[in-house]
Amino acid sequence: MHERRSGFAKPEIPRFPADGLLENLLQRLRAAVGAETADVLFLSCESGHFESGIFDGLPDNCGSALRLPAGDDLAVRIAAAEGPMIIEDAPDDIRQSPTLKGRQKFLAGASLRSGNRVIWMLLLGATQHRHFNESDLLMVELAADRIAATLESASVRECCSQAQDLLADERKRLEMLLGINNSLVSKLNIRELFAAISESLRRVTRHNYSQIVLLDRKCNQLKVAAVDFPNGKGLIREGLVVPHQGSPAGFVFTSRKPLLIRRLQRDEFPSGITDCLLSEGVRSICLAPLVRHERMLGVLSIGSAQEDGFTQEDLGVMNQVAGQVAIAIENALAFEQIEELNRRLSKEKQFLEEELRAEGLSNEIVGASQALTDVLNQVQTVAGTNATVLVIGETGTGKELIARAVHQLSGRRDGPFIKLNCAAIPAALLESELFGHAKGAFTGAVRQQLGRLELADGGTLFLDEIGELPLELQPKLLRVLQDRKFERLGEARTVSINVRLVAATNRNLTQMVQRGEFRSDLYYRLNVFPVLMPPLRERKEDIPPLVRYFAEKFSRQMQKHVPVIAPAAMNTLITWHWPGNIRELENVVERAVILSSGPVLELASLQGSGISERGREGPGTLEHAEREHILRVIKESSGVIGTPLGAAARLDLKRTTLYAKMKKLGISREHGLNRQSMA
């Protein structure tokens, strides 16, 4: 027999077994003791009452709608009794129940226990013509033990079944976590990582969409980094900004706590992202924060088209998954940063190597003329600021050296100095070269490429030949000057940079603005601090030190003794008007060093270069004819090079090819425009 002790318990008890054994016991007991009704009452956790009629399979005459409060005097008496007891005068509320139908006056009751817990109660009812006796109580006690054992056995079977279901669910969760863990090891790309995570989540939790929202620390905005929404309309997409306030993901990011939204409502989350979710048919969401080392990375979420689509168990699973995903996200972000740094370093190395080859052994500014001194004073004044500098001067006057001087004298000297010649790159590629491009932005874009602007972040960007920048790119450069922001080609993400711009041109930008070839607003932004580079013909006192500098430079390179410059040769060089400026002088001296065989650099060694003793171009050479032809076409084109009616088109040359020829011949646009006066 089960031990009788007072006290009730409120466990979760399974439904009544459907094998018919209890119905048979109740019927036989009722017949044996002559009772009209036999009722098994179950202690409900929800109501706190003993309730009958809740077990499946009981015949109508064995069940009832009786409700007996656990604290009722009758219930307390039965629970406290050592065994079955007889109640000779049933309370009025019991007598009026559907079971007794107002006729039964006598009751026999017994508590049914599991261990020492009162979980069930047995009540038998009889009319006033039938009195229960001691032998009836013995029968009730035996039946009560059998009924309690039957119910306890059913409870154990139900608990085992529930435990098996829980184990199966737990096995699925562990398999999912293992799959995600394998993804963490093998995936370093966020999109690939998320695809694997989403596939694992679908095997455990039914949902219509999933997404990862990450914090973009450059702009302090939450953005959708990856989304899996097979049947979506495209309203939830990568790069979409998620507000910190008024959005489910923003709430979780701020609170750092998981969130289960059983019914998504705009009143609770008033934001555009909520409107997008509702328009996509999302009605419930399960979200978990992505936290790593106390650092908030973002939010992982799944959504369902059904209200109450997720449970607290699902939220717990999501929180477990988020813990692992946070590790993977941190690794993926670190990998992306390393990749970007590698690309940046590779590009910077390439540019530095190109610059070293172009600069030779030194980039010192040679000369002490008043005109050059005035320029250097201007450089000293503006270098300490972040103002944009526009260097204006003819081809070959040393505009790049001035740009470098601005950089070296500024607080950005330890940052990169990146240059880009706008005339040397085809217009179709200039945007990609300047602003960079995303992977897949165009045919052949097999990987992301950083533009010169990003490479110059923290330093100085030198844009040579700024007048050749196509009109369609000028608004984008203007935005960089105004907001320090831009987008890579083929990418919606905004990139913020800290860069100083130094531009150079040999064109008259004022006239270009008047002709509609250059934006006036960009011109005003560039012309904050103009520096006018004097041509070499206005710095004749600088020619002797320049000649000596170049002679020493090329002699070292060619492993020759430095020749002495004959006075006659020096005088010829000083009197020449140098249309190609310092670049032309450098080429002339280099050729002279090559041709010199003795200790003295004689002007006679330069006769083949097209320069005579009078400082004029020598006629009759192919190079001279080509030079004259190009100058004439430039003059006829009013100095325009790259348009469909410009000099390049008339000569049937690419714009970059024509500029290369002009550089080789030591001529510029101004030479063509001033051709008559220089003849």
Q: Are 29 and 143 in contact (CB under 8 A)?
A: yes
Residues 507 and 650 in one domain: no
Name the band, by pLDDT with cuts 50, 70 and 90, for residue 482.
very high
Residue 173: inside a domain, yes or no?
no
β partners of residue 502: 389, 462
Q: Is pLDDT at 285 greater than 70 in this prediction?
A: yes
- 264/50: higher pLDDT: 264
Residue 367 has pLDDT above 60, yes or no: yes
Mean pLDDT computed over every residue of the chain: 78
Q: Residue 97: is its pLDDT beyond 70?
A: no
Nearest alpha carbon to residue 586 among 617, 553, 561? 553
Whether residue 635 sits in one domain with residue 560: yes
DSSP state of 243: -
Inside any domain, residue 212? yes
Tell me 472's DSSP state. G
Q: Does 511 share its domain with 562?
A: no
336-348 burial code (b ≥16 CB/10 A, e <16) = eeeeeeebeeebb
Report the candidate in 237, 228, 188 with the shortest Cα–Cα distance to residue 205. Answer: 228
Q: Which tens digit of pLDDT belongs to each residue from 115-132?
A: 666 666 676 666 655 667
For residue 610, what pLDDT is reported? 46
pLDDT band at 620 (very low <50, low <70, confident <90, very high): very low
3-state secondary structure of 285: strand
- Residues 50-65 have pLDDT tens digits of 665 533 334 454 444 5
Check residues 139 and 520 and name the one with the higher pLDDT: 520
Confidence (pLDDT) at 365: 86
Residues 567-570: contacts with CB under 8 Å, at least 24 apart: 568/602, 568/603, 569/601, 569/602, 569/603, 569/606, 570/543, 570/544
| Better pLDDT: 604 or 154 | 154
Q: Mean pLDDT highest for which of 146-155, 304-313, 349-358?
A: 304-313
- Please give the distance of CA 367 from its chain centroid, rounded to a whole number: 51
Which of 361, 422, 372 lies closest to 398, judged by CA?
372
Q: If you average pLDDT over residues 151-167, what whole number do you get?
A: 77
> 569 with 511, same domain?
no
What's the pLDDT at 55? 38
> Using H for helix, E for strand and C for coil, what is the string for 530-553?
EEECCCHHHCHHHHHHHHHHHHHH
Cβ atoms of 393 and 534 within 8 Å: the answer is yes
Q: Which residue, of 480, 502, 534, is where some domain finishes?
A: 534
Pair (369, 317) in one structural domain: no
The CATH number given to whatever domain includes residue 494 is 3.40.50.300
Whether residue 527 is found in the same domain as residue 548: no
pLDDT digits (tens, 9 = 90+) for 201-245: 777 778 888 999 998 887 888 999 888 888 888 899 888 999 999
User: What pLDDT score was predicted for residue 319?
Assistant: 87
Question: Which of 116, 141, 159 is the C-terminal boundary of a domain?
Answer: 159
Question: Considering 534, 560, 581, which residue would you say is the last residue of a domain?
Answer: 534
CATH at residue 70: 3.30.450.40
- 353 within domain boundaries: no
Q: Are residues 60 and 122 in the same domain?
A: yes
CATH for 669? 1.10.8.60
Q: Are residues 217 and 366 in the same domain?
A: no
CA distance 549 to 458: 33
Domains held by the chain: number: 4
Residue 327 pLDDT greater than 60, yes or no: yes
Specify if 228 maps to a domain: yes
Can you tell me the distance from the alpha carbon of 299 to that of 194, in angstroms, rounded to the nearest whole number? 12
Residues 419 and 324 in one domain: no
Please report which confidence band the pLDDT of residue 616 belongs to, taking 50, 70 and 90 as the band edges: very low
**Residue 178 included in any domain:** no
What pLDDT score was predicted for residue 322?
85
Residue 21 zone, left/alpha/beta (φ > 0; ψ -120 to 50; rest):
alpha
Mean pLDDT of 155-184: 71
Judged by DSSP in three states, 480 sits in: helix
Among the listed ranges 105-109, 199-203, 275-279, 319-323, which one has the minimum average pLDDT value?
105-109
- Reduced to 3 states (helix: H, G, I; strand: E, B; else coil), residue 223 is strand
Q: For residue 501, is it within any domain? A: yes
- Residue range(s) defining the domain that contains residue 504: 360-534
- 8 A C-beta contact, residue 601 and residue 555: no
pLDDT at 450: 84
Does 11 fall in a domain?
no
- Gap between the Cα atoms of 85 and 92, Å rounded: 18
Measured in whole angstroms, the distance separating CA 602 from the mean position of its chain's CA atoms is: 65
Query: Residue 386 has what pLDDT?
Result: 92
By three-state DSSP, how is residue 600 classified? Answer: strand
For position 73, what pLDDT does the model report?
63
Q: Is the pTM of this model over 0.85?
A: no
**Residue in the structure block whose two tokens are 């495209």:** 234
- Quickly tell me which residue has 């006690």 as its tokens: 141
Query: Which two tokens mark 263?
Result: 């019914």
Q: Is the same domain home to 522 and 428?
A: yes
* 329 and 380 assigned to the same domain: no
297 domain-assigned? yes
**556, 589, 542: which is closest to 361 by C-alpha?**
556
DSSP structure string for 388-409: -EEEE--TTS-HHHHHHHHHHT
Say whether both 620 and 588 belong to one domain. yes
